[in-house]
Chains A and B, each alone.
Chain A
Amino acid sequence: MTYTDEILSAYLDGELDAAQMSEIEKAVLEDKQLDARLARLQQANDAVRSAYLPLADAEVPQEFIDLVRNRAAAPAAEASTVVEFPKATPRPAGPAPFWPSAIAASVALVLGYSVGLYDPFSGAQNTDFLAAKSISSGDPLYAAFERTASAQRIDLDGTRVAEPVLSFRSVDGRFCRETVVTQGGDQTLLVACRGDTDWDVVLSLRSKAPGAGIDDGYRTASADANAVLDAFLQAQMESDALGADEEAALIDKAWRRPDR
């Protein structure tokens, strides 16, 4: 009698009924080939288990523990502290966006986040965060937004590194990109949209060490900076992030909109 891999695999998991289990036990003793097939599957399974089982012993980053504790402690308060963004057509109800950059933001969550328009070059902070700030071709950041593929890093000036995270089409038809600028321990997360020639910064989130001027005119979203980003992107994204091919094509075409 021959047994399929499915049966053997189920045997390894103890998922067959008693009669089948003992039938295979016997068969294995008499059939070397069957024994070898079973051993092969068993080894693959053991390899996976011994590789992954210990991962649950790794320490869970504190930010997740804080997230659960804080949210459980003040479930409603947070929504009201989050800055209102101009309402665009909401995306259809569905799964919340999942951002490759979420981890960057979550690190900052521990530090406390300031929300505002921040100029990563002059260090100047502008509390009027909705005011348009344009990145024009003379700006080192321009190359990051205009020509750098997502997940590629670009050195801006020896101290600052930019890494576009993703590109998307906004509900207003413009192409927009999320980019993380890192300088030392500081991170600024920028979302900018391509105008006719420049990139207009529409959101800037900057991480900063606790105590460093929390009340300097900023509105803080200390509870959860990701909520800010999520809310913003949910409102602004027309659909999912653009794929690498689409993005590359747009870089080639200097982000020209198909409707122009």
Chain B
Amino acid sequence: MTEGRGDEDELLELLPRLRRFCFSLTGTWHDADDLMQATVKRLLEKPPPQEVILAKWMFRVCKNIWIDEVRSRKVRAATPIDDAPEAAATDGERGVMDRIMFEQVNQSMAALPDDQRVVVSLVAVEGYSYKEAAEMLGIPIGTVMSRLSRARGTLADLLADAQTA
């Protein structure tokens, strides 16, 4: 990140999206901020290669840290975390129904396999194309497609259950 002007400012501008991405992967602000911290530090320590698009690089780095490190540290994961207050703290402006919906979505996302959740985040939330997501994740486009459709099927089921429960 020593390349003069732009990178630092660009990274600062990307932080809100990075944080959203971290949240979508981890499901709580607490864990999202841990992941974000690790990601930002890595980005600062290891500047991206020239000509790379910083946002894509950033998501890729973040996802790798998450997959490599978080999964291997199951201590916290094995302990129920009361994340409701954190999630609620996200959005003072949301109405009650929205919050309930948010909780349902967040819990449904958490129920997805990790590799499906990443694809949903990148495509549905961050708006990347299948091709871009495939590049970032280092998987074939067909895999992006199948993970995404399976994820959506599962989400649809879980959300339907939550609403009739």
Contact = CB atoms under 8 A, between A and B. Distances in A.
Do A and B bind?
yes
A9 interface: yes
Interface string A185-210: 00000000000000000000000000
B81 to A, nearest CB: 8
A55 B145 CA distance: 25
Nearest to A39: B156
Interface residues of B, number: 66
7 contacts: A15-B130, A53-B20, A96-B65, A97-B69, A98-B34, A100-B73, A245-B78
A150 B11 CA distance: 34
Given A95-B64, A240-B73, A57 B155 contact: no
B56 interface: no
Contacts of B129: 13, 15
Interface of A: 4-6, 8-10, 13, 15, 40-41, 43-45, 47-58, 60-61, 64-65, 67-69, 71-72, 75, 94-103, 106, 149-152, 166-167, 226, 240-245, 247
Contacts, number: 184
A51 B38 contact: no
Interface of B: 1-2, 7-8, 11-12, 15-17, 19-20, 23-24, 30-31, 33-38, 40-42, 44-45, 64-65, 68-70, 72-76, 78-79, 81, 90-91, 94, 101-102, 104-106, 109, 120-121, 123-125, 129-130, 145-146, 148-150, 152-153, 155-156, 159-160
